Amino acid sequence: MKKFSVLVLLIILTGISCERDDICAESTPTTPHLIIRFYDINQQDQTKQVRLLSVIGEGMPEGNEIVFSTNTDSIVLPLRFQEEGIVTTSRFELKRDTDFDTDSNTSTFSNTDILEIRYTPQFVYVSRACGYKSIFNDPQTTIEIDSDNWIFGSEILTTSIDHENEAHIILYH
């Protein structure tokens, strides 16, 4: 009986020894993704869907698209971060009018533009359970010019990407 009492006491002590902040709550803000909204170049106060949009990050193999052949007026993209305070670049291929040929099991892309985003990561302590999150300061965009761009301009809406409540960048097409 004494062994049983010790076992019960050990289980109880183990159960109550966890503090509230030992578990990171789902509602706790973590490293945000970049939110991009697409607007009409001719009516710049109107959102505009991109037909059959696919997005792939630089260095990702074909078939690992972040977005695949979707009609949308907004996208959510992950940003890279390695070191705090060092200007970092993420590059994405945005492919409009993608189509998938089920017979040949291949994708066709009618128009690809390259979007480059530069920013400076900053690590922010959240809590003991959650650790750190990254925020991205001073974002800047570049759209590579080619002979057939479908993205005509961009606008930065915030100086710090630190939440996922609203768009951070607008792309005009």
**Chain-centre distance of CA 124, in angstroms?**
18
Average model confidence (pLDDT) across the chain: 86
pLDDT of residue 5 exceeding 60: no
* 104-154 residue pLDDT tens: 566 666 799 999 999 999 999 999 889 999 999 999 999 999 999 999 999
Per-residue tokens: 53? 């949009």
CB 99 within 8 A of CB 69: yes
Q: Specify the higher pLDDT residue, 68 or 40.
A: 40
Q: What is the pTM of this model?
A: 0.80
What percentage of the chain's residues is helix, strand, coil (to nearest 5)?
10, 45, 45
pLDDT for position 4: 52
Kindly list the distances between the CA atom of residue 31 and the CA atoms of 126, 162, 164, in Å, as whole numbers in the listed order: 10, 7, 9
Q: Specify the higher pLDDT residue, 4 or 22.
A: 22
Contacts of 25 (CB under 8 A, 6+ apart): none
